[in-house]
A and B are shown apart, each in its own frame.
Chain A
Amino acid sequence: MTRSSRLVLMVLLLLAGSASAARAFDVKEARVVFLKGVQAYHGGRYDEAVALDEQILAAGFYSPALYYNLGNACFKTRHTGKALVNYLRARRLAPRDSDLRANLLFTRTIVENYAPWKDGSVFGPVADLLSGEELQWLAFFFFALTGTFLVVALYAGLRRKRIVLVTGLLAIVSAYLAGAVIFKVLQRSGEAVCAARVDARFEPSQEATVYFKVPEGTEVKILRYKELWCKIERSDGKTGWVPAASMERI
């Protein structure tokens, strides 16, 4: 085989590979792949299950059950960090799923030196109970209700005190829900999980002094990026630089 023909073959293979990777699924195909992943998991072929679930995600589909199954398959392949990431992603979509909560809790117990983040925000209870989309809908509904009630009440000639009272209450609820939406968006903006044990250093350099160890599965916040490094914050407030590739954003 000549050099030019080898080059042509490589280009063709590359194009074929990228074409298959970028091939768009429809929903029916995504469901079929999901069920294949379930069968692989049933058969103890956890690596295959991980690959199939990730294939669906790569095609642009997602669901809480998909993240949940992917978390389970990662757990079985002893990738605690990846399992946690997927459980946390699933929790964003289905925060009230009891199976998910149980698995998340159990996985956290096997993370070395696990320390939970303490959240004292007034929005915390609602943000934990509802998914981001549910919160958005709820906030929109109350906002619309507030405006509609005000207009209708004004045109209907209701008593001014009654209008102020009801509109005020509705406005407070709307504002709280809008705050919860913003809180949720800000909260998840920097969340990440350590996918593989790594050293946190004082500077973004391999030569820098190691400050602390970050075990696999540690939940951190990414504060900023600098080239191939990112600055993380631990739940106890300690910060350090780690390779960005070692962190998986939720």
Chain B
Amino acid sequence: MKKFISGIILAAACSTAAYAADVSVKAVVDDNHGSVGTGFAYTITVNGAQDAAAPALPVIDGFDVHYVGPATRVSVINNAYSVEQSFNYSIVPLKEGHFVIPAITVVVKGQSLQTETIPIDIAASGARPAAGSSGGTPVKEDIEGRLKLLMAAQRNTVYVGEAVPLTVRLYVNQLALQDLSFPQITMDGFQADPFTEPKQFQDTLQGVNWQVVEFSTLLYPARTGEIVIPSAQVRGSLLFKASQPRDPSGGFFDEGFLSSFFTSYQKRAVTVTSVPLKLEVLPLPNEGKPADFADVVGQFDLNVEVAPLKVKAGDPVTVRMALTGAGNMKAVRMPVLQASGFKSYDPQVKDEAGRKTLEQVLIPTDVSARQIPAIRFSYFDPKAGAYRTIERGPFTLDVAAPAAGEEFQAVGFAQPSAVTAPEKLGRDIIFIKDDPGVLRRRSSHMGRHALFYIALAVFVQVWAAFLAFYLYRRRILKDPRFARQRGAAREVYKVFDAAKLHINTAGVKTFYDILEKGLSEYFVLRLELPPGRVEFLPLEAALKALKVDGKLVAAIEDIYAAAERVRFAGLSVPESAMRSHLADAEDIVRAVERRAK
């Protein structure tokens, strides 16, 4: 609330001040090209007052003048108060010709102020319709009077290389323009930046309100003496209503609002040209020119940063420079950094809007590289008319020795490899082969040969046999019981062979002694019976446990009984019975061997 009240008080104070000074008047017409009978607006504006009386217009030759009424506008912008009072008149031309609306005297607070005179061209009724506002193709003279291109430099006397602001303004009155191009200027003796995006506003020129399109750029004179900036040209398309053929019958669609629905517009290319502009270009003075001056003109500031300041030898240090200011940035060469004891990489320079930056990596090669020398930048200041030098630095570094194994090794400083354009190679299939190599039959493929698989199977069997035999031998050596059992079978067959020799009537006793003893030893070892004489009952139990056939068990009992009879009763046994007993003994051993596995 307090702020609002203080604002009101401030505004009142300002208005009081405005009354006392800066009161001005101006008169404008909305169009200074007209035709007989077509009225136009004439406005007298008083700036800085709001209590002026409506001025009485004199009788103007060739015009019928009517006062329409006043209008007042008050505005506060950024606490700046302004007031404007307008008096509007309608002026209707009565005859054709060139006329001048005279200066009108306005009395404001006792002061007499005068407006400017305004020239007016009036054509015959319907002969020169306003372009773009009514039907008909505009004539060339009419367009020329409604389009102006004005080119102006901020200063006409400048130094060589100095940035000179240049504006090109396109004034348009009562015309519709489209597709405007940027101004075209032929460069000769100067360089120029591209034009910026245009600005649009209204301006009064010779008592007429104009729509203005303003293009801006910067010029950089390249040589001394008088240089002429040639005419600028702006191209565009003029939009106007196409002529409608009148219906001779005076039909419904000939006049009235409906006809406007069917109005078509046409375009016509127009080129607006300005007058040339002269500049006086001064040379740069020799007096006070620094040795490192590199033809840089403008006003600049240089900021330099070095980081990090504490490093080990071999670690990178980055130097960053930023140049800002007004001048031809594209032509500016950044200061060259030369520091002994450092390996330096190529700097990275970037151009940004109104700013140029440089980033360079330096590497201290040993601990003696302790300082990056001062960086100097010299330029000519055209406003001061003198040379200036900016100096930043020197920058002191704290360089420590690297740890063992981290010594500095410059990478990328070897002999630069030659840069060659990449070779473009053709592409196609590689040529055929002249030799077929080994032509084989399909059936010769080893995968299809039965022999391959047979060889594989044989190899596996041989390998398995060797392995089995090894394991058997190993068990014989490691397992005494197993060895005994295997040995018992071998021995008993030897016994059978020995007994065979005594199958006759003379050797009955010897036959049965050998047979009984051999079988007993075999059973003791193989069936783990108690050593000594083998009793039949434990033997029968052991054989039955092995599920040996009962007939064979009975045969054993029969062999043992025969042996008893021969030994103690001296009975004779026929050879056939001896052979039968030997065969039974072999069968029983085979059966035991088979079952005992």
Contacts and interface: CB of A to CB of B under 8 A. Distances in A.
B432 A137 contact: no
B430 A99 contact: yes
A106 B456 contact: no
A63 interface: yes
Contact of B427 (A61, A106, A147): A106
Contacts of B441: 60-61
Interface stretch (A66-74, A112-120, A206-214): A66-74
A106 B436 contact: no
Interface in A26-41: 27, 30-31, 34-35, 38, 41
B447 A132 contact: yes
Given A41-B432, A103-B430, A31 B439 contact: yes
Interface stretch (B139-147, B390-398, B462-470, B519-527): B462-470
B436 A31 contact: yes
Contacts of A137: 446
A151 B436 contact: no
Interface of A: 27, 30-31, 34-35, 38, 41, 56, 60-66, 68-69, 72-73, 75, 99, 102-103, 106-107, 132-133, 136-137, 140, 143-144, 147-148, 150-151, 154-155
B199 to A, nearest CB: 54
B441 to A, nearest CB: 5
Contacts of B443: 60
Nearest to A75: B429
A151 B470 contact: yes
Contacts of B436: 30-31, 34, 63, 65-66
A184 B433 CA distance: 26
B472 interface: no
Contacts of B551: none
A30 B435 CA distance: 12
B429 A72 contact: yes
Main secondary structure of the interface of A (DSSP, over half): helix
Contact of A133 (B427, B428, B446, B456): B446
Nearest to B441: A60
22 contacts: A27-B439, A31-B439, A34-B436, A34-B439, A60-B442, A61-B439, A62-B439, A62-B440, A62-B442, A63-B437, A63-B439, A66-B437, A66-B439, A68-B432, A68-B433, A99-B430, A133-B446, A140-B456, A148-B463, A151-B463, A151-B470, A154-B470
Contact of A102 (B430, B433, B459): B430
Specify which of A38, A62, A64, A140 lies most central, judged by the most chain B CB atoms within 10 Å of its CB: A62
A150 B438 CA distance: 37
A63 B438 contact: yes
B434 interface: yes
Contacts of B431: 72
B432 A151 contact: no
Interface string B396-436: 00000000000000000000000000000001111111111
A73 B440 CA distance: 21
Ranked 8 nearest A-B pairs via Cβ: A147-B463, A65-B433, A34-B436, A99-B430, A69-B432, A151-B466, A103-B429, A61-B439
B3 interface: no
A75 B447 CA distance: 31
B478 interface: no
A186 to B, nearest CB: 14
A60 B438 CA distance: 13
B440 A61 contact: yes
A19 B585 CA distance: 73
B445 interface: yes
Nearest to B456: A140
A103 to B, nearest CB: 5
A219 B164 CA distance: 70
Interface in B453-504: 456, 459-460, 463, 466-467, 470
A106 B446 CA distance: 32
Nearest to B443: A60
Specify which of B429, B437, B442, B452 lies most central, judged by the most chain A CB atoms within 10 Å of its CB: B429
Nearest to B447: A136
A57 to B, nearest CB: 9
A107 B427 CA distance: 10
B152 to A, nearest CB: 63
Nearest to B430: A99
A151 B459 CA distance: 12
Nearest to A107: B429
B437 A64 contact: yes
A30 B447 CA distance: 23
Contacts of A140: 452, 456
Nearest to A144: B459
A102 B428 CA distance: 9
Contacts of B429: 72, 75, 102-103, 106-107
A110 B347 CA distance: 45
Nearest to A106: B429
Nearest to A49: B432
A26 to B, nearest CB: 10
Contacts of A30: 436, 439
Contacts of B437: 63-66
Contacts of B446: 133, 136-137
Nearest to A68: B433
Nearest to A83: B429
Given A63-B440, A99-B430, A136-B446, 16 more contacts: A30-B436, A61-B441, A63-B436, A64-B437, A65-B435, A68-B432, A99-B433, A103-B429, A106-B428, A132-B447, A144-B459, A147-B459, A147-B463, A151-B466, A151-B470, A155-B470
A52 B436 CA distance: 13
Interface in B320-364: none
A250 B463 CA distance: 38
